[in-house]
Amino acid sequence: MKMEKIMRSKVKDLLNAAPGRDVLAKGWVRTKRGNKQIKFIALNDGSTIHNIQVVADMEKFDEDLIRRITTGASLCVKGKLVESVGSGQAVEISAEEIEVYGDCDPVRFPLQKKDTSLEYLRTVAHMRPRTNTFGAILRIRHAMAFAIHKFFNDKGFVYLNTPIITQSDAEGAGDMFLVTTLDLAEVPFKENGKVDFSRDFFGKKTCLTVSGQLEGELGATGVGEIYTFGPTFRAENSNTPRHLAEFWMIEPEMAFYDIDDNMDLAEEFVKYLVQYALDHCMDDLRFLNDKYDEGLVDRLHSVLGISFQRLTYTEGIEILEKAIAEGHQFEFPVHWGTDLQSEHERYLVERHFGKPVILTDFPKEIKAFYMKQNEDGKTVRGMDVLFPKIGEIIGGSEREASLEKLEQRIEELKMDRKNLEWYIDTRRYGTVPHSGFGLGFERLLLFVTGMANIRDVIPFPRTPKNAEF
């Protein structure tokens, strides 16, 4: 069969093309229906949520070939793009030649209509990207990644790659995964009974990174504004719909930004991404809206036209305590000094203000050592951006720029500064006010796609007791 000559077109482009020309399409069969004279094949190649209809006149094709065209089979179709007579599509392909690349046994095919629950799909790695749902999510995920790079590139930020393997005792953002080549059956011990990591690959204890921030600050205090966008690992045993053991994080870090500049950037950033999704992913968003979350598109619009509510942690606590006094019940206790739980965050966002909230000035005890200390001696200049349905989507702060105060905090917390000197040096040699934040990529995607479980917005989720594929 000779199919050269014509260039292959993506289904997305064919659906927008004018009828009349010869075309070549490749993809997987979604459905086949029809009668003895004519077959209608819905073909999808992943370029769009929509299928192109292939019309096969049985007079032109061999029975055996048509029998092989089952749901899931892969095809190459040559034909003419014609105006569609049926409703539902403007154009269709009137097939002249069809080649089956790969058959798909209709009996053993794992994507039967009756079982396409999201939980089930997580167990069939090869089928997941073929579904409408995951196709939409993967395309949106890609568009958001692209928009993130575009946003920062347009602002002159430098994309900085921070290490994935790091020294273990750097931050304390979460429990870390150990990286070692030591033989677990013959672990070398020191005299004090501790593992002798000097015999390990790197000659010291190393882990997978929980954040690129500290290295990011080194970049920012040289080239001004940087962002990282890479995988992040946390061995926290939290089996929630908002936590992964491996997730992606975007961490901008900016010299000469104070906390207000930081909040302005964070707000502009997420609004830009939501706008980008609305401008470029509407077909996929509509599909997800109609299938899973009727409020999705409205919710995306709702964060755009307004200013996020900015308030201090202390003010937030007052609102929550008042809610409790008025009879509202929370599962977890809340008073000044506690870390807010997702239910508290969502109360502020969804019930009290009805819009995204940026909380600032947290008790220093619940935040990391590097946050800028306020005059009151009790709070630090952190900021959390809280979103409807999700809670915390961004965590950030103005960083402590004073060498003295930073050292004093490290001491207070009894941190081992041996492996931190490289970081402390930024405050020794030309320190500057600076700020930054971390946006969890999958948390953003939860918001943008309306999915309820973070496992469904990443291609291969890693969670406690699960590292399949």
CA dihedral (342, 344, 348, 351) positive or negative: positive
267 scored as a contact of ligand ATP (CB under 6 A) = no
Task: Give min distance, CB of 89 to ligand ATP, in A.
Answer: 39
Q: How far apart are CA 383 and CA 439, in angstroms?
A: 12
User: To the nearest whole angstrom, how small is the minimum distance from the Cβ of residue 163 to ligand ATP?
Assistant: 17
Residue closest to 80 by CA, chosen among 25, 36, 35, 41:
25
135 binds ligand ATP (CB under 6 A): no
H helices of 239-385, where? 259-280, 282-291, 296-302, 313-325, 342-346
Of 76, 79, 73, whose CA–CA distance to 56 is shortest? Answer: 79
Q: How far is the CB of 168 from ligand ATP (least distance, A)?
A: 16
If one asks whether residue 29 binds ligand ATP (CB under 6 A), the answer comes out as no
345 makes contact with ligand ATP (CB under 6 A): no
Comparing CA positions, the residue from 100, 108, 11 lying closest to residue 53 is: 11
CB closer to ligand ATP, 79 vs 438: 438
Site for ligand ATP contains 346 (CB under 6 A): no
The answer to whether residue 356 forms part of the interface with ligand ATP (CB under 6 A) is no
Extract the tokens encoding 204: 């010291």
- What span, in angstroms and rounded, lies between the C-alpha atoms of 94 and 77? 9
Show the tokens assigned to 25: 């399409």
Shortest separation between residue 253's beta carbon and ligand ATP, angstroms: 13
Task: Kindly state whether residue 220 participates in binding ligand ATP, applying the rule CB under 6 A.
Answer: no
Binding region for ligand ATP (CB under 6 A) out of 33-41, 127-135, 358-366, 435-443:
435-443
234 binds ligand ATP (CB under 6 A): yes
β-pairing verdict for 74-83 and 225-233: unpaired
- Closest CB to ligand ATP among 97 and 246? 246
Question: Which residues in the 442-461 window bind ligand ATP by CB under 6 A?
Answer: 442-443
Contacts of residue 45, Cβ cutoff 8 Å, sequence gap at least 6: 10, 11, 25, 26, 27, 28
- Residue closer to ligand ATP by CB (options 48, 209) is 209
Q: Mask: binding to ligand ATP, 361-400, rule CB under 6 A, as x and -?
A: -------------------------------xxxx-----
Among the residue ranges 99-107, 267-275, 357-365, 436-444, the one whose residues contact ligand ATP (CB under 6 A)? 436-444
Among 438, 445, 447, 450, binds ligand ATP (CB under 6 A): 438
Q: Provide the minimum distance between the beta carbon of 342 and ligand ATP in the complex, in angstroms, as a whole number.
A: 7
> Please, which contacts does 236-241 make with residues 24 or more away whose CB atoms are closer than 8 Å?
236/174, 236/175, 237/175, 237/464, 239/463, 239/464, 240/342, 241/452, 241/453, 241/454, 241/455
With contacts defined by CB under 6 A, name the span among 215-223, 264-272, 347-355, 434-442 that binds ligand ATP.
434-442
- Give the pair of three-digit tokens for residue 384: 């959390």
Q: List the interface residues with ligand ATP, window 170-189 (CB under 6 A).
A: 173-174
**What backbone phi and psi angles, to 5 degrees, belong to 467?**
-140, 50
Please report, to the nearest 10 degrees, the dihedral formed by the alpha carbons of residues 48, 49, 52, 58 taken in order: 130
Closest contact distance (angstroms) between CB of 254 and ligand ATP is 16
Which positions touch ligand ATP (CB under 6 A)? 173-174, 234, 236, 243-244, 247, 249, 392-395, 438-440, 442-443
